[in-house]
Amino acid sequence: MNLQSSVWWLLLCSSLATASAISAESREYAAGRRAMLDEIAADARRTAFDTGRSRFSEPVMQAMQRVPRHAFVPEQYRTVAYANRPLPIGHGQTISQPYIVALMSDLLDIEPGDRVLEIGTGSGYQAAVLAELDAKVFSIEIIEPLAKQAAERLPELGYRSIELRHADGYYGWQEAAPFDAIIVTAAANSVPPPLIRQLKPGGVLVIPVGAPFLTQSLIKVEKTAAGELHTQRILPVRFVPLTGERE
């Protein structure tokens, strides 16, 4: 076998080994992922009176299916990565319950190509779900180690339509505004005025509002073409607090 053939053979073996590893990993988590989707669907039916949605859109459910949640949690939690509950990701933060991720994504009513601002990148899981909906995602994380980890993790997983920034999300991302949708994954005492200003007319903002470490309300804010705000309380939630905010 000549040198060129040897190199080709090594590359082929490497590709086959990588594909085999990915396939084995997919099989390992497949049952948990199916169970997660079933639980999301069941929770959607159970909370339909509060949310007005007995089921989530097919694109949202497909996004939830495609994103490898196990890749966004610390290794010690990977055996329960697809449990329908929040999990610690370090620095006092959590990856949100899958049902809540699906609900908040669905409430945004994202269209392909929409510009979406996320406040609170965390592990990057919610940003990946938004990217799977063909949104252009701008995500801000105030905790520097989490911001750095997400900046490495997301491209490695193939998510390259996400721009990340280490900053105080209370002030939004003025240079990239306006946004078709804004999602806040931490609880604020009130809706930050800069985010309202950066929301397009016709846009939607979803945010948990309430006191830290107590039950909060998930709020949906719609901005009309005339700039008027229509606010709807969706259901009780519990999120970590939005740090760095100014009242």
Which sequence positions are flagged as catalytic? 96
CA atoms within 13 A on the CB side of 170: 13
Q: Cα 186 to the chain's mean position, in Å? A: 12
Q: Is the dihedral of CA 106, 80, 42, 48 positive or negative?
A: negative
> Of 63, 62, 85, 65, whose CA–CA distance to 73 is shortest?
85
Please name the helix (run of DSSP H) or strand (run of DSSP E) that holds residue 11, with its range, or none: helix 3-46
Closest CA to 96 of 84, 83, 86, 110: 86
For the chain, the farthest-separated pair of C-alpha atoms sits apart, in whole angstroms, at 73
- Letter string b/e over residues 1-16, b meaning 16 or more CB atoms within 10 A of that residue's CB: eeeeeeeeeeeeeeee
Q: What angle do CA 22, 28, 86 make, to 5 degrees?
A: 105
CA distance 223 to 108: 12
Determine the 3-state secondary structure of 212 from DSSP.
coil
Distance (Å, whole) CA 55 – CA 115: 24
